[in-house]
Amino acid sequence: MKKLSKYLEFINESSDYKGYSIPSYKEAVELCSKNAAFYESKMIVDGFNVSVFNYRLTSYKDFANPLDHKPELKGYEMRGLTFIFNEDGTLFNRYVLLEKFFNINQIPESMYSIVKDYKIKYVNNKEDGSIATFVKLPNGKIVGKSKMGFDNDQSNGINRIYQNDTEIKTLVNWCLDNDIIPIFEYVAPHNRIVLRYTQEELILLRLRDNKTGKHIDIQDHLDKIGSTKIAPFEDDHQGNLDKLIELVANQVDKEGCVVQAEDSEGRDFFFKLKTPWYCERHGLLTNDIYREHIIIGYILDDKIDDILSQIPEDEVEAHTRINKIIVIVKRAIDDKMEDIKKSYQVFLDMGEDRKEYALTHMKAEPNFCYVMNLANGKDLYDIAKEHVRDKTKRLMISRDWLQKIDPTLFFQDPEEDEENN
């Protein structure tokens, strides 16, 4: 009991890993309240209150320095970070997932010129499904979850596999009994993104120490893993990044790989390599990725990471411009959310009388449809995001929209025919 108490005291505070802190619950809530890139989803799972934290439309700064007054607090762990509470409201446990990491050449720290000197520790295939893990509830029940939570098609599939696959169940139980987080990729024929999978399964990606966040070498626990499928990169890269890049460049029917490297200070550093084959099927290797309405679409679909990774490192202006557009889009969504909330408050002040509100505001209120959508239970963030999408569907319209917000943005190819784009 004393050991458990000491552990709960530890996770109630932020824990340090790789030079930054894994947020405590209080810090995760603060991140959400002061940076709209992060949000908390509250839910009840088997009678227990659970909070799952995630991010949306984030820029590099959101992860690297989300709170100006707390430079030591980072946002990398706000990816499915889960807190489970006892019936009396006290914290039962905190569960990490897989921290956010980036493609090579996407952020300053992942530029080839920097990571080429890192020691490669482990490389695994980049599977093309949904991230998955398991948690233990205060009543001892073990439940599976996706990044988004416990009640969706992916989590249903994750739990189905756990119940039917004795190898998976044995591994998961052993992990959670030892406060180790097993991180899987859930793949299935009906969960297709680009790659085709013929059967529903969980592929083991990582093991993490839930207390410290440190990654545990899978090779050290092959006896526990048994026949559970893992995803090591099979081609011999000889620990050489240039060789690995060459191998990935020639792969087909693969998304790419994830590299676990060791930086100059001996800390883990992860980055992704995507295959040209995969990027072509996502439409990421054409000149269209330089067009503003395409860029905004990728931002809104949370796929801008892949765009940035395909732009050469020496194209500094392109990287700078896209990152500037990311900030503009994010701010526009935040501003629209606030605008809609003000309009919605008028609706609330009228006692949520839809008929009366329609009679008095249908023509005069620009946000009328948005207010009604919000009243019907649609997510405020999704409403604001679709508003921005509607305003930026075509090339020249998107450029006009951007320049009204930031007149310093410069656009090339003004003669392009936006009617065909």
Mind listing the pLDDT tens digit for each residue in 190-211?
887 778 899 999 999 999 999 9
Cα-to-chain-centroid distance, residue 387: 22
Asked whether the predicted pLDDT for residue 217 surpasses 60, the reply is yes
Q: What is the pLDDT of residue 282?
A: 64
Of all residues in the chain, what percent carry a pLDDT higher than 70?
Answer: 89
Q: What is the pLDDT of residue 310?
A: 66
Q: What is the pLDDT of residue 346?
A: 94
Mind listing the pLDDT tens digit for each residue in 223-273?
888 888 898 887 888 889 999 999 999 999 899 999 999 998 889 999 999
Mind listing the pLDDT tens digit for each residue in 61-92?
888 888 888 887 889 999 999 999 999 999 99
Asked whether the predicted pLDDT for residue 313 surpasses 80, the reply is no
Token pair, residue 65, equals 């320095």
Q: What is the pLDDT of residue 35?
A: 87
What CATH class is the domain 2-100+128-230? alpha beta
Of all residues in the chain, what percent carry a pLDDT higher than 90?
Answer: 58
Q: Kindly list the domain boundaries of the chain, sorted by start residue.
A: 2-100+128-230, 289-420
Asked whether the predicted pLDDT for residue 57 surpasses 90, the reply is no
Q: What is the pLDDT of residue 323?
A: 85
